[in-house]
Amino acid sequence: MQSALRRQLDSTRKCVISRHEDRPSFTLDDLFPEGERGEDFDEQGRPQVLLSGSCAVQAALGRVFDDPDGKVDIDVFCTWKAVPLMRQRLVERRGLMCGGVDNSGYKSRHNERDDKKLSYVECYADWPTDGENQSTDLPYSSDAYRTQAFAWVAEAIDDVYRNQVGLPGGSSGRVFPYDYELLQHRPEEGCFVQLIIGNEDTADARELFKSFDLTICMCHFDGHKLFVPNPRDTFKGRTAMTPWRRAMVTEFFLNEDFDVRNNGGDSDDEREHYQACVIVARMQKYAGRGVEIVDPPPLALAWEIRWPR
């Protein structure tokens, strides 16, 4: 069973990388090097680095999602302590660069206690080669751009308004490339690796799963084995919502006082509306991929998403 799951996980990895021709190839062994396996667990045996999310789900289902236009990432969950190690593997060994921070899919005000386990999410892409950076007009292929990309991360680490990109410790002494435009202005190429980072008190990477919407997404690979928390449902292509996220979406649909036409500001209700939209959209995405949601809130799967303007 583990051999079959591992082969399917590797097939999923190949599919994500092959969506763009210039993405650098890397293997599961690059993410979990055999010679460094001891660093992926603490002295108590708790995992510090895990691969989870849609890649692990596809491995458990035994198929690759057939939505070539959809966004499928390689999601790596790690503790605060393991961040510099994972950046070293992604940047120095596989040639990726950081495209900024995007917490939108993981953090919400509704579940503040569990979401506090998560610090922030760094996104990674391959080095761009065609075109030029919008803010500097430097060609992506130039040495000047490479120099600037390494300078930007030093600025970001020292700037409290940059959403913590580069913390803690960087890679090889705070040195690794960063360009926020890869996330903001180049969605067609896209960051395809997400580094989901726990806060300083998180000692086990599995604690980060408390921010998930669907239980099927808690499938994960620790470098040795792929774990399927609810095999009875998962192997049949079914999933429940996690209780805290289901409560959030149910509350949203029952909120008769919320005006969907006035959803463009920064109030708690407006942020909650956005987060509910994200969760409902993800439920609809997985339902469209053939995964049965066994306990959706009323209207959730049929509702037309109203994004904040």
Strands 220-221 and 226-227: antiparallel
Residue 64: Cβ-neighbour burial (10 angstroms; 0-12, 13-18, 19+): middle
Which secondary structure element, helix H or strand E, spans residue 303, and what is its range? none
Rounded distance, CA 27 to CA 66, Å? 22
Predicted confidence pLDDT, tens digits, the chain (309 residues)? 999 999 999 988 888 887 776 677 788 888 999 888 889 999 999 999 999 999 999 999 998 887 655 566 899 999 999 998 999 899 888 888 998 888 766 665 545 545 678 888 899 988 888 889 988 999 999 999 999 998 888 787 776 555 567 777 666 666 789 998 888 766 556 688 999 999 889 999 999 998 889 999 999 999 999 999 899 999 999 999 999 889 888 888 887 555 544 444 456 667 777 788 888 988 999 999 999 999 999 888 888 876 554
Name the β-bridge partners of 238. 292
Question: What are the Cα distances from residue 63, in Å, to 7, 12, 76, 290, 305?
Answer: 11, 8, 20, 11, 28
Q: Which one-letter amino acid corresponds to residue 60?
A: A
pLDDT at 263: 46
What is the arrangement of strands in the sheet containing 220-221, beginning at the earlier edge strand?
Answer: 96-101, 118-126, 193-198, 74-78, 49-52, 220-221, 226-227
Token pair of 14 as six digits: 């190949």
Cβ(140)–Cβ(169) under 8 Å?
no
Helix (H, G, I), strand (E, B) or coil at 133: coil
Spatial neighbors of 163 by CB under 8 A, at least 6 apart, are 100, 101, 103, 120
Question: Which H or E run includes 243?
Answer: helix 243-254
